[in-house]
Amino acid sequence: MSEHPTAGLDDVVHQRHRLGILTVTAEADRVEFGYLKSTLELTAGNLSRHIAVLEEAGLVAVEKGYEGRRPRTWVGITAEGRGALAREMAALRALLERHER
């Protein structure tokens, strides 16, 4: 009996805010912290915590810099992050197909 699609999901990726961060960063090479915060409707603290989990797992890279005189933080998905997201999406697709049979 094949494994149930949810058995293969990785909590680091699957958690809904982290899944949001990965999908948004996958749409552009890197995304500014403020944009992520408003798009995902998260507080700065909550977003920072989830970014730290993803960074710790090597799935995103954080870059600090300036735009003019304003300090800015950018978050970019890594190759490992794109791989983990692809596996998550494949499992979600399998789950949807099983559910819609």
Binding site for its own copies (CB under 8 A): 1, 3-7, 9, 11, 14, 16-17, 19-20, 23-24, 26, 39-41, 85, 89, 92-93, 95-96, 98-100
Apex CA 49: angle with CA 88 and CA 68, to 5°? 105
Report the residue number, 14 or 48, with the smaller CB distance to its own copies: 14
Report the residue number, 29 or 64, with the smaller CB distance to its own copies: 29
Alpha-helical segments (H) within 1-101: 11-14, 16-27, 33-39, 44-56, 79-99
Report the residue number, 51 or 85, with the smaller CB distance to its own copies: 85
SS (H, E, C) 61-78: EEEEEEECCEEEEEEEEC
- Shortest CB 66 distance to its own copies, Å: 26
- Shortest CB 13 distance to its own copies, Å: 10
- Shortest CB 4 distance to its own copies, Å: 5
What end-to-end distance do the CA atoms of the chain give, in Å?
17
Report the residue number, 64 or 79, with the smaller CB distance to its own copies: 79
Q: Do strands 60-67 and 30-32 pair parallel, antiparallel, or not at all (unpaired)?
A: unpaired
